[in-house]
Amino acid sequence: MSINITELCKPFLPLSVIAQKAVQLKESEEGIFCAIEKIQPIIIESIAQLKVDNQLLGQLISFYQNGILNGIGSRNVSSHDEVYQLIHPLLLNKIPEIVHSISEECKIKKESALALLSLISDVCIGVLGKLITQNEMKTEDVEVILSQQKGFIKI
């Protein structure tokens, strides 16, 4: 069975959230939608690079159980430093390039692209935590799911 994390994230990023983000960030809905479409595979590919062990499973479950998916549309930035510490070391020296590229392609401010990078990180981590929790997954199950997400883009 193949699981597409991108598809599982869609219910948490409906048009109402896109509209809300556009207002909060003073951007067009088209720009926000474009940025989400570009950022999501980058974050998912980053998550797929993580070493899967019991500690990671515990973190992902904890993020979900602590409500990381609650109020996604109303937050301006990620309120989860732990998510930042988990994902962003994989992107660290590429973040300025990613933000610049998203900003240019989607015609949004760099600050907005950075805020959306944090938002999408929260959504992807939360969805993965939800999947693990609801399906009582083990380390090897998560390894299989993450291996299915690899290779779509180069980071």
pLDDT bucket at 116, cuts 50 / 70 / 90: very high
In percent, the amount of the chain with pLDDT more than 90 equals 72
DSSP tag of 51: P
The span from the CA of 96 to the CA of 91, in Å, is 9
The span from the CA of 28 to the CA of 50, in Å, is 33
**pLDDT for the residue 1:** 64
**pLDDT for the residue 152:** 62
The domain locations on the chain are: 13-149
